[in-house]
Amino acid sequence: MPDIKKPIISAHQLTKQYGNNTVVNSIDFCVQQGSCCGILGPNGAGKTTTLRMLMGHVLPSKGQLSVLGWNIPEQARAMRQYAGIVPQQDNLDPDFSVTQNLSVYGQYFGLSAAEIQERIPKILAFSALEQKADARVTTLSGGMQRRLSLGRTLINDPQLIVLDEPTTGLDPQARQLIWQRLRQLKNQGLTLVLTTHYMEEAERLCDDIIIMDQGCILEQGAPRELIERHIPPNVVEVHGVDLELWHQDVAAQFELHSETIGDTRFYYGYEVAPFLQALNDNPELRYLHRPANLEDVFLKLTGRDLRDD
């Protein structure tokens, strides 16, 4: 029997307009139970707006949306009892301690004092904040605050957690710890939806990727699938003296697809051993040979312009 799981989230022609500005443009997607779905896109692509519509915090202009079997936005309040959100900016209460923040959050969900007291130690352990239980939030590092924001979502024992850029601005150690925790939650059967600017994060954590730009979905699928669909398996980044001359005189004969970005030429191919040999014969050039990755796909689909907004 095929393993047919029902989608936890199903969006059909989901649209958000602000005045004449369509910031989410008729997108269709599903998220399966127990999977991790990553939404990638440049600044302004519509990622946060999409997540906020999922949670019922922003009203869609058009389309159908169901989350955990509830119709959104009509039944969003009921749905939120079973879901958690880690927003793009932490919204912890700075005047309260770690424990007080958890307590107040539990009260929003109507939990009794006894239930809250029972859950707090588990959340402190999950967030690796046992030593900081009584510390004020303002004294915590950025990584600790993120862990508290993530841990806090567990207070109501959710089935789905939505995370908006959970690791932006964190150092590598802090990021690793968040990744471990997200994997732990996934192993427990939770469904995760996250946005990120870090392609290696998406490749590591996500079963499915949605690439958005200007409110539209450009591509979706498993990370490996997307890479295979768009980019040959080998990428060689070359830079150095007289690169363009070498490209015309030597590299052209290998007939690899290539493009120049800044001072580097990127070569893409299936069989690159002879090409690497030619590079080794030229001491003026430096190169990096690596497997194709999600960033290559992302840049191919969204272009290489800088988005500052």
Ligand X SMILES: Nc1ncnc2c1ncn2[C@@H]1O[C@H](COP(=O)(O)OP(=O)(O)O)[C@@H](O)[C@H]1O
43 contact choice in ligand X, Mg ion, none (CB below 5 to 8 Å, kind-dependent): ligand X
Q: Judged by CB under 5 A, which of 35, 48, 101, 127 binds Mg ion?
A: 48
Would you count residue 49 as binding ligand X (CB under 6 A)?
A: yes
CB of 195 to ligand X, least distance (A): 7
Sheet of strand 191-195: strand arrangement: 83-86, 160-164, 191-195, 36-40, 208-213, 216-221
**Residue 60 DSSP class:** -
Applying CB under 6 A, the span of 27-35, 39-47, 96-104, 124-132 interacting with ligand X comes to 39-47
36 contact choice in Mg ion, ligand X, none (CB below 5 to 8 Å, kind-dependent): none
What is the DSSP track for 10-36?
EEEEEEEEETTEEEEEEEEEEEETT-E
CA dihedral 131, 135, 137, 139 (to 10 degrees): -90
Q: Please, which residue, 23 or 192, has the CB nearer to ligand X?
A: 23
Q: Judged by CB under 6 A, which of 12, 32, 33, 44 binds ligand X?
A: 44
Q: Please, which residue, 87 or 232, has the CB nearer to Mg ion?
A: 87
Would you count residue 50 as binding Mg ion (CB under 5 A)?
A: no
Residues in the chain: 309
Q: The tokens of 53 are what?
A: 């519509």
Would you count residue 166 as binding ligand X (CB under 6 A)?
A: no
- Best CA proximity match to 34, nearest among 259, 157, 190, 232: 190
> Which residues are near ligand X by CB under 6 A?
18, 23, 41, 43-49
> Which residues are near Mg ion by CB under 5 A?
47-48
